[in-house]
Amino acid sequence: MTTKTVLVTGAQQGIGAAAARAFAAAGYDVAVNWLDNREAAEAIAVDIAATGRKAVLVQGDVGAAASCAALVQAAIDGLGHLDVLVNNAGIFPRVEFLQMTEAQWDAVLDVNLKGSAFCAQEAARHMVAAGIKGVILNLSSSSVRGAVLGVHYSATKTGVIGITRSMALALAPHGIRVNAIAPGLTDTAQPRYGNTDEELAEMAKAMPLGRMGRPEEIAGLMTYLASEPAAWITGQVYHINGGVYLA
| pLDDT single digits (tens) 10-63 | 999 999 999 999 999 999 999 999 999 999 999 999 999 999 999 999 999 999
Mean model confidence pLDDT for the chain: 95
Structure confidence by residue, pLDDT tens digits, 180-198: 999 998 887 777 776 788 8
The C-alpha atoms of residue 147 and residue 145 are separated, in whole angstroms, by: 7
The C-alpha atoms of residue 235 and residue 214 are separated, in whole angstroms, by: 24
* Residues 6+ away with beta carbon under 8 Å from 65: 114, 118
- The pTM of this model reads 0.95
* Residues 6+ away with beta carbon under 8 Å from 132: 1, 81, 82, 83, 126, 176
- Reply yes or no on whether 153 is catalytic: yes
Catalytic residue among 28, 153, 193, 245: 153
The C-alpha atoms of residue 178 and residue 211 are separated, in whole angstroms, by: 29
